[in-house]
Chains A and B, each alone.
Chain A
Amino acid sequence: MTNGIFGLHGKKVLITGASSGLGKAIAIECAKQGAEVILVGRDIDRLNATLSLCEGSNNWTIQQDLTDLNGLSQFVQNLPMLDGAVFCAGIIKRNPIKFINPSTLQNIFDINVFSIVELTRLLVKLKKINNDASLVMISSVGSDHASLGNISYMASKGAINSFIRGLAFELAKNQVRVNAVLPGMIKTNLTKGISDEDLKFEIERYPLGRFGQPEEVAYACIYLLSDASKWVTGTKLVIDGGLTLR
């Protein structure tokens, strides 16, 4: 456990999407740095599996579908005061423009945008965010860096990139910081629909020669949650192995 400037000792951190992928890795790594993590997701068994990998005894899980906007108020009321939150829950769906319709777009935006805005609104309104807290949204370099068929996902992450800027400005008066992390391709379940051949082609676009590891995104979140980044707000931290250099 680290108690240095990058440590999270004594900080209560809410992590959404903690049952798998990035959220799971972020939960585990934050707990290693001393955070008390509150893991949120839809699948309680997988959440508990993540919990069992988190160091410390003050961590817990809450089963919650974040797209059930009517249930969110009760969920937020039951939360303790938070020193940080990492919004990881998200989905990807590749649809060329001819196959994007209000319903497919709604599905993506429900989780990638609406649930995040509504959860944030309730956290602020119900005063669950301590002064000096840090909010971290997982966006994507895909918000601005096109890949085929990815339009809806790109648009949803673009919305988040703008959202954190406005939110950072508004919450600054309470010394609450809001930042985004923009990963390149990380090997998680979201990438499992892509064929090995396409993945190999993709890797060649990364100057550092590989995809990222979930932990490498977690380290960025730790920095943004920690006191080391106390004067950092509204930033979009790119973690992409050099993908967007060109």
Chain B
Amino acid sequence: MKEQFIEKFKEVVEVESVELTLETNFRELEEWDSLAGLSIIAMIDEEYDVVLEGSEFKNQNTIGDLINAIQSKIDGKA
């Protein structure tokens, strides 16, 4: 899921400036803005059927945080 998520993230936020890793703080990316935030929430909903509330999302800063949040929600559903 890790590589696939990073690919999706790059595509949605249109990241060209840097390589993304689990440790990347996405809020510091040159391409990051409110629309990127909404797009990531929408992408996670569309691709993983996981709804991140705004209040949860604001506590997540790295790509790894997002993947963990998605995984724990998927596990919670199982």
Is A195 part of the contact surface with B, judged by Cβ < 8 Å? yes
User: In the docked arrangement, what's the CA distance between A149 and B37, Å?
Assistant: 10
Is B22 part of the contact surface with A, judged by Cβ < 8 Å? no
Chain B residues closer than 8 Å to A200, beta-carbon distance: none
Chain B: interface size category: 10 to 19
9-residue interface stretch from A90-98, A130-138, A166-174, A206-214: A90-98
State the A residues within 8 Å of B (CB). 94-96, 98-99, 148-149, 192-198
State the B residues within 8 Å of A (CB). 12, 34-35, 38-39, 41-43, 45-46, 53-55, 57-58
User: In the docked arrangement, what's the CA distance between A72 and B45, Å?
Assistant: 30
CB–CB B38/A148 < 8 A: yes
A-B contact count (CB 8 A): 39
CB–CB A196/B42 < 8 A: no
User: In the docked arrangement, what's the CA distance between A144 and B5, Å?
Assistant: 35
Please name the residue on chain B nearest to A149 by beta carbon: B38
Chain B residues closer than 8 Å to A99, beta-carbon distance: 39, 42-43, 45-46
A148 touching B35 in the complex, CB below 8 Å, given contacts A99-B43, A195-B58, A197-B58: yes
**CB<8 Å pairs between A and B, sample of 25:** A94-B38, A94-B41, A95-B38, A96-B39, A96-B42, A98-B39, A98-B42, A99-B39, A99-B42, A99-B43, A99-B45, A148-B35, A149-B38, A149-B39, A192-B53, A192-B55, A193-B53, A193-B54, A194-B54, A195-B55, A195-B57, A195-B58, A196-B55, A196-B58, A198-B54
User: In the docked arrangement, what's the CA distance between A194 and B34, Å?
Assistant: 12
Shortest A6–chain B CB gap in Å is: 38
Chain B residues closer than 8 Å to A96, beta-carbon distance: 35, 38-39, 42
Chain A residues closer than 8 Å to B43, beta-carbon distance: 99
User: In the docked arrangement, what's the CA distance between A95 and B34, Å?
Assistant: 12
Shortest A30–chain B CB gap in Å is: 32
CB–CB B54/A195 < 8 A: yes
Please name the residue on chain B nearest to A194 by beta carbon: B54
Chain A residues closer than 8 Å to B46, beta-carbon distance: 99
CB–CB A149/B42 < 8 A: yes
User: In the docked arrangement, what's the CA distance between A192 and B53, Å?
Assistant: 8
Shortest B8–chain A CB gap in Å is: 12
